[in-house]
């Protein structure tokens, strides 16, 4: 039994896996992360490994000192990945994007894969049917777009995400919602259409915190799974440990 931990930019996601079965998922904050993880570990007493990936404020040393009774497996560039990394600057490729690519290869063999992670940023990653990672794109996510409009203008309010009532906003608030939400939706559909025009035998995976919010707004057929990164972390660990 493994406790898989994804340390993101704004929050920490933790999931308990028994082989490939997800038993429990929690989203926790930075302030009480140790106490929250201890509660999970105390409830699932068969946990033997912490599988950790971090693009946030916590590092491997934080988890090594967290619980000496548990083994820590830290997902880094030094482990094996089931794809050929053809990125021009591999040292700058985020570990989260590498894990998503690994999960796509392991879950969907022999396909062209486009993985879209809609979180703080929206990332697009392409792995071809020969398991070559070719690269992708990075764009601001929904929350960043709302915050940018507020922070870099004098009078626009800071709003929380909300479905626009129409593509033509009839007020400043509705115009912001239309610009942000429709803009993101059109952007994703545009990337997907370009991908579809150039590839067959494909799978398009949508994941990240805004998965459910966006999935119903997209015109293209996609595989939507908000837990895909956690599943991919677990599978990457198993791939490296023959579990």
Q: Which residues are catalytic?
A: 96
Q: Is 122 left (phi over 0), alpha (psi -120 to 50) or beta?
A: beta
Backbone dihedral angles phi then psi of residue 147, each to the nearest 5 degrees: -65, -40
Q: Which residues share a beta bridge with 116?
A: 124, 206
Q: What angle do CA 236, 211, 87 make, to 5 degrees?
A: 45
Residue 13 three-state SS: strand
Residues with Cβ within 8 Å of 213's Cβ and at least 6 positions away in sequence, in order, are 142, 161
**Sign, Cα dihedral of 159, 165, 171, 176:** positive
Backbone dihedral angles phi then psi of residue 127, each to the nearest 5 degrees: -125, 125
According to DSSP H, which parts of the chain are helical?
33-43, 60-64, 95-107, 142-151, 172-177, 183-198, 211-215, 228-241
95-107 and 228-241 are packed helices; what angle lies between their axes, rounded to 10 degrees?
A: 80
């Amino acid at each position: 039994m493994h406790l898989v931990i994804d340390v993101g930019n704004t929050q920490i996601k933790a999931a308990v896996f028994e082989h490939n079965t997800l038993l429990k998922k929690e989203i926790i904050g930075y302030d009480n992360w140790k106490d929250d993880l201890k509660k999970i570990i105390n409830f699932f007493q068969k946990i033997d490994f912490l599988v950790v990936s971090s693009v946030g404020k916590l590092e491997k040393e934080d988890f090594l000192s967290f619980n000496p009774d548990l083994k820590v497996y830290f997902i880094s560039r030094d482990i094996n990945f089931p794809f050929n990394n053809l990125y021009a600057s591999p040292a700058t490729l985020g570990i989260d994007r590498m894990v998503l690519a690994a999960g796509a290869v392991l879950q969907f063999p022999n396909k062209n894969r486009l993985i879209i992670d809609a979180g703080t940023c929206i990332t697009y990653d392409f792995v071809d049917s020969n398991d070559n990672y070719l690269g992708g794109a990075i764009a601001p996510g929904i929350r960043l777009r709302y915050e940018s409009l507020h922070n870099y203008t004098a009078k626009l309010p800071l709003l929380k995400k909300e479905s626009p009532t129409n593509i033509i906003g009839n007020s400043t608030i509705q115009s912001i919602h239309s610009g942000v939400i429709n803009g993101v939706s059109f952007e994703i559909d545009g990337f997907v259409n370009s991908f579809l025009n150039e590839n067959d035998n494909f799978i398009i995976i949508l994941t990240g915190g805004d998965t459910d919010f966006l999935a119903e707004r997209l015109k293209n057929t996609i595989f939507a799974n908000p837990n895909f990164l956690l599943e991919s972390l677990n599978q990457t660990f198993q791939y490296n440990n023959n579990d």
